[in-house]
Amino acid sequence: MKPTSFLHGATEVAARNLIVWRRYAAASALGNFGEPLLYLVALGYGLGRVVPPIDGQSYAEFLAPGLIVSTVMYTATFEGTFGAYTRLTTQGTFDAILATPVTVPEIVAGEVLWGGIKSTFGAAVVLLVVTAFGLVPSPLALGTLGLGFVAGAMFYAMALCMSALSKSYEFFNYYFTLMVAPMFLFSGVFFPLDAAPRWALSLAQLLPLTHVVAISRSLVRGTPGPGIAVHAAVLLVYALAAYAAAALLMRRRLRI
Amino acid sequence: MSTVIEASALVKRYADFVAVAGIDFRIDKGECFGFLGPNGAGKTSTMRMLQSVSLPSAGKLSVLGMDPVRDGKLIRTRIGVCPQADNLDPDLPVRQNLLVYGRYFPQPRAVTARRADELLEFVALGDKRDHAIPELSGGMKRRLVIARALINEPELLLLDEPTTGLDPQARHLIWAKLRELRTRGVTMVLTTHYMDEAERLCDRLVIMNEGKILAAGQPRELIEAHVGKEVFELGASAEEARAFLADVELGGAAHEHTGDVLAVFLGERSALSERLVERARHGGSRYLLRNATLEDVFLKLTGRELGE
């Protein structure tokens, strides 16, 4: 027998998660569907009635691109923390897999691949919702699916680092409160960043979600300028760094 | 006979302790080889090195003629692993556990599917194929783990405490299945702290304690070399034991008093054993004359104190 390739290992790890997820897909889709819908109604149409137009857009229109990618962030982060941590610890899924020809780097690659796939699905559900509400002027918005894959893989790799470092589920509270929630609020999903003071703007530029929101907004509006390349470059650097860190930390955690 | 596993001066060190402190062993094709020892003896650390999930800190190790450091992937392609912890996939039903596991091997899906059905019959779970994992009893889960370990038709099967925590019926069923595999020529390596399990299954074994091998050989050979044929046990306090021993001529037979039991180790069923029984009966004490077991060897070599 010839040994399996890296790609074989990674895709089968992702496939295992996909097979399991298919069994619970309805509940998962409801989560992806419900939460952004609530934000859209409460903020877009509730708060939006008293908010003046931004760049000629209604507040709901302004909000839509950010909701697509914040769903990506949350989908990837939940799966990469609670989901992956369960596979790493209580379920012993990774231990079982490591008794086969699959290696630790293949597990990490497969998990990150899975994070991208699941996030793309989340992005698709929200895109469907905001399109139904007439908030998507450009067909370029389909590009948010590809964006969702890359950004989802990045957020998943970041979350996987937390799983590799964690000793319990409680540990994730730090990550959600100190990292994920601030990103959700201060990455330009809810208000335009260019109105912020210079120092705040610089801080926001450090947050990976800021760049994802910027790309999403220009795709949904159909106005991708040259700035999109810079945002994409930043996103790729973050994604590669997060992946490398996750591979390193998981290797340390699993190679006992 | 060809060698399947060979280790010399094998060491596994962790940051703060030495789990395996330089051991040598050789395992031949087709045999069932056991690692016996209390918790913390280094059995599982050794197993993890054999499956090349953990790398040796020092010494030499060859598995199926390959180097686990370099050829881990290839080794794991050809071995089956039945881990100590139950890590079946609770998110998938019985048969799908086997199908998904088979995907990790270089093996066509159709072959995996056919083998999954055969293996479910083999471990008597054919009628449970669509059941959820949490619905299975402990014995059924173990059998499924064994079936899973066989999905790639391995030449070598590693079993880490295959029957720990199971009831007697479940253990006997698993032993029967393992013996069946041995007659098919599968080389097996198992760890256990059940002496009866080792006596029943192993052609050869080593007794480990604190990372070292204390004794090696065939079960009967070890028992006769270290303990003898029979053991006479008497319920007696230290004083009662002294009085008892003063009364009978032991003729150099080894004896040991622990807690409230006096044990005398006997080479053969001899006049001595009759004298001991006679004396015990006369004194009205509780006594037992039984065959020597691996457990006696084990306790003699490792001491009766708790290791932990």
pLDDT tens, residue by residue, B11-60: 999 988 999 999 999 999 999 999 998 888 999 999 999 999 889 999 99
CA distance A13 to chain B (A): 8
Query: What pLDDT score was predicted for residue A221?
Result: 95
What percent of the residues of chain A are helix, what percent strand, and what percent coil, each to the nearest 5? 80, 0, 20
AA identity, residue B121: E
Is the minimum CB–CB distance between B153 and chain A shorter than 8 Å?
no
- CB-neighbour burial class of residue A90 (10 A; exposed 0-12, middle 13-18, buried 19+): exposed
Q: Give the residue range(s) of CATH 3.30.70.790 domains in chain B.
A: 228-291
Q: Give the residue range(s) of CATH 3.40.50.300 domains in chain B.
A: 3-222
> Under an 8 A CB cutoff, do A102 and B53 touch?
no
Instruction: Tell me the average pLDDT of chain A.
Output: 94
Nearest CA in chain B to A5: B106
Query: What pLDDT score was predicted for residue A5?
Result: 95
Give the confidence band of B245 by pLDDT, cuts at 50, 70, 90: confident
Is pLDDT of A198 > 80? Answer: yes
pLDDT tens, residue by residue, B110-132: 999 999 999 999 999 999 999 99
Of A3, A15, A98, the CB nearest to B53: A98
> Under an 8 A CB cutoff, do A9 and B54 touch?
no
Q: Tokens 């897909």 map to which residue? A: A25
| Helix, strand, or coil (residue B107) | coil
Query: What pLDDT score was predicted for residue B132?
Result: 96
- What are the domain boundaries of chain A? 6-254
Using the 8-state DSSP alphabet, how is residue A3 labeled? P
Is pLDDT of B69 > 80? Answer: yes
Kindly report the pTM of this predicted structure: 0.90
Dihedral sign, Cα of residue B167, residue B168, residue B170, residue B171: positive
Token pair for residue A88?
């790493």
pLDDT tens, residue by residue, B275-293: 888 888 888 888 999 989 8
> Under an 8 A CB cutoff, do B73 and A97 touch?
no
Of B86, B92, B107, the CB nearest to A20: B92
Is pLDDT of A105 > 90? Answer: yes
Nearest CA in chain B to A9: B104
Of B54, B88, B92, the CB nearest to A256: B54
What mean pLDDT is predicted for residues A167-180? 96
CATH number, domain B3-222:
3.40.50.300
What contacts B201, CB < 8 A, 6 or more positions away? B32, B34, B175, B178, B179, B182, B188, B190
Interface confidence, given as ipTM, is 0.90
Token pair for residue B23?
């051991």
Give the confidence band of B164 by pLDDT, cuts at 50, 70, 90: confident
Of 3.90.10.10, 3.30.70.790, 3.40.640.10, 3.30.70.20, the CATH number of B228-291 is: 3.30.70.790
When mean pLDDT is compared across A82-96, B125-139, B246-260, the lowest value belongs to B246-260
CA distance A200 to chain B (A): 44
Which percentage of chain A shows pLDDT scores above 90?
88
What mean pLDDT is predicted for residues A190-203? 91
Give the DSSP H/E element, type plus range, for residue B264: strand B261-266
Closest listed residue to residue B51, CA positions, set B204, B197, B156: B156
What contacts A208, CB < 8 A, 6 or more positions away? A151, A154, A155, A158, A183, A234, A235, A238
> Which positions 95-124 of A are in contact with B (Cβ < 8 Å)?
95-103
CA distance B230 to B210: 28
AA identity, residue A22: R
- Which residue spans within B155-237 are E strands per DSSP? 156-160, 187-192, 204-209, 212-217, 230-235
- Count of alpha carbons within 13 angstroms of residue B110, beta-carbon side: 0
Query: What pLDDT score was predicted for residue A256?
Result: 56
What contacts A233, CB < 8 A, 6 or more positions away? none
